[in-house]
Amino acid sequence: MLRISEIKYPIETPENQIRNEIIKRLKIKDADLIEYTIYKKSLDARKKDQIYFVYIVDAKVHNEAELLKRVKGPQITITPDLEYKPVAAGERDLEERPIVVGTGPAGLFAALVLAEGGYKPLLLERGKSVEERTKDVEEFWNTGILKEESNVQFGEGGAGTFSDGKLTTQIKDLRCRKVLKEMIVAGAPEEIIYHYKPHVGTDLLRGVVKNIRERIIALGGEMRFNSKATDLIIKDDVIKGVIVNGGEEISSEAVILAIGHSARDTFHTLYNHSVEIHQKPFSIGVRIEHPQGAIDRNQYGKYAGHEKLGAADYKLSHHCSNGRGAYTFCMCPGGEVVAATSEVGRLVTNGMSYHARDAENANSALLVGVGPEDFESEHPLAGVFYQQKWEEAAFKLGGSNYHAPCQLVGDFLKDKTSKEVAGVKPSYKPGVTMTDLRQCLPPYVTEAMKEAIIALNNKIRGFSNPEAVLTGVETRSSSPIRILRNDEMESNIKGLYPAGEGAGYAGGIVSAAVDGIKVAEAIIRKYAPLK
């Protein structure tokens, strides 16, 4: 196939005009174009008076070799081979099937690749299936009754299940397309393979997770819910298996740890077994909410609300005078702020959107970087203790009932306690308590946030809207630890494979899934499929 780049049209132009442009660029007849597919679709909104879509397409034509001799240029090339190639299997026999602990993106895709290779993995999930988990999460949002093993952090699909389902990533890896294609097969919209900012939405993502599970089972894998890996069986620094729910022993010489960034009890278990863990920087802050219409108008001008554009988003950063970086993260257009705690007496927020992104508010994390120098301890889990400190402060400030502390942007900038909501209604459930967020965040974080809000208003007009709301706290933007591993993807315990965001090697759905695939490949290279 041939790849044609820089096909640029105003957004009003029908997409079927692409075919005419391909014929024009290649100087061929309509009959010579067999088919074409969109490889990438991006948006050029630098000029608000005229917004463009920009396409890269792959075209299949008759007489390709002859055509390339007479049509040349940097915008017409041979399409590279981007298909995922399974790795060759090793020869060593596996005595037991591999175990995957955790069913977030890393765990699911590690298990899927193992199942496709004939390794019949066993998946252990401490929480419930996505169907049952959804009921528990919604109950918590409506009543404030928390289930510690079934919530936004724990359960099938991992923390990403209750998010915007964003699939953007900074990594350049062919495995990314493998992830996206598998998600499409499982029910995600086909546009995620080429869209400039692909997302699924939490409503569709739940079905995708279920379908991936069913495919793993159809390929010989097994999924066990309510099955918490409470301990590891280790002998002479070699993994021998796991203990489930405090009693059942399951043997395996290959255990993948895809435990997510909130499995703090498991972090302690690893520490007690002398698994090598290092502190890792992360970020903390709040969720900031604005009217989605204001964001649309700022980003798209007269095209705000255009059916082809949908709800606008943003991604912003500012280097603060105190030396810290502040930035927006996990922006959820037309979404809501959600209660994301997994521990009694602690409060955590996150953001979520449904596929339609049609809610009244836009929200984003507004975060400030923190690191080991802030943790006040050299303990490998000091970052965890730091998170817990501020989560406990937020819980108490909100009223000790999982209502979140909330403050108007105008009051926050003036160091003034908020008394009531103004023009922007907070979306967080089960409810908010208007207060002063300085009581549940470090001073160096709040000072950086203030400076950033004012500076970012120069990039997004209305970002410092005094009636916008800040809801705290967001502490789990990424894992506070990194579990060290070698070139074979093993920790210092032979046969124990840390993977994904919880292990400190990913930062989102796609990158976590890719890391899970890499770890699965390491096992495949070493062992032969199960007989």
Lowest mean pLDDT among 143-147, 341-345, 433-437, 506-510: 506-510
* Residues 191-237: tens digit of each pLDDT: 999 998 899 999 999 999 999 999 999 999 999 999 999 999 999 99
Q: Is the confidence at residue 72, as pLDDT, over 80?
A: no
Same domain for 489 and 465: no
Contact 366, 446 (CB under 8 A): no
Helix (H/G/I), strand (E/B), else coil: 304: coil
The tokens for 306 are 């255009």
Same domain for 343 and 231: no
- The pTM assigned to this predicted structure is 0.95
List the domain range (segments joined by +) for residue 103. Answer: 99-278+483-526
* 421 is a domain residue: yes
- Looking at residue 31, what is its pLDDT? 94
* 517 is a domain residue: yes
* 493 is a domain residue: yes
The percentage of residues in the chain with a pLDDT greater than 70, rounded to a whole number, is 100
Domain CATH number, residue 16: 3.30.70.2700
Q: Is the confidence at residue 171, as pLDDT, over 80?
A: no
Q: Which of 24, 44, 78 is the last residue of a domain?
A: 78
Same domain for 122 and 235: yes
Measured between alpha carbons, how far is 405 from 214 in angstroms, rounded to an integer? Answer: 40
Same domain for 232 and 267: yes
The 10 Å CB-count burial string (b at 16+, else e) for 328-358 is bbbbbbbbbbbbbbbbeebbbbbbbbbbebe
What sign does the CA torsion over 433, 436, 442, 444 have?
positive
Same domain for 309 and 253: no
* Residues 378-420: tens digit of each pLDDT: 999 999 999 999 999 999 999 999 999 999 999 999 999 999 9
Cis ω for the linkage preceding 74 (within 30 of 0): no
Q: Is the confidence at residue 57, as pLDDT, over 80?
A: yes
Same domain for 206 and 103: yes
Q: Which of 474, 498, 518 is the last residue of a domain?
A: 474
Domain CATH number, residue 161: 3.50.50.60
Same domain for 187 and 113: yes
| CA-based end-to-end distance of the chain | 39
Contact 430, 420 (CB under 8 A): no
* 93 is a domain residue: no
Same domain for 384 and 463: yes
Measured between alpha carbons, how far is 485 from 241 in angstroms, rounded to an integer? Answer: 18
* 73 is a domain residue: yes
* 203 is a domain residue: yes
Strands 248-251 and 238-244, how do they pair? antiparallel
* Residues 149-169: tens digit of each pLDDT: 999 999 999 998 998 888 887
Q: Is the confidence at residue 338, as pLDDT, over 90?
A: yes
Same domain for 149 and 189: yes
Q: Which H helix or E strand runs over 499?
A: none
- Looking at residue 275, what is its pLDDT? 98
Same domain for 301 and 175: no
* 467 is a domain residue: yes
- Among 90, 85, 146, 95, which Cα is nearest to 403's? 146
* 84 is a domain residue: no
The total of structural domains in the chain comes to 3
**Chain-centroid distance, C-alpha 173:** 16
* Residues 433-492: tens digit of each pLDDT: 999 999 999 999 999 999 999 999 999 999 999 999 999 999 999 999 999 999 999 999
Same domain for 271 and 168: yes
Where does the pLDDT of residue 531 fall: very low under 50, low under 70, confident under 90, or very high at 90 and above?
confident
Same domain for 443 and 516: no
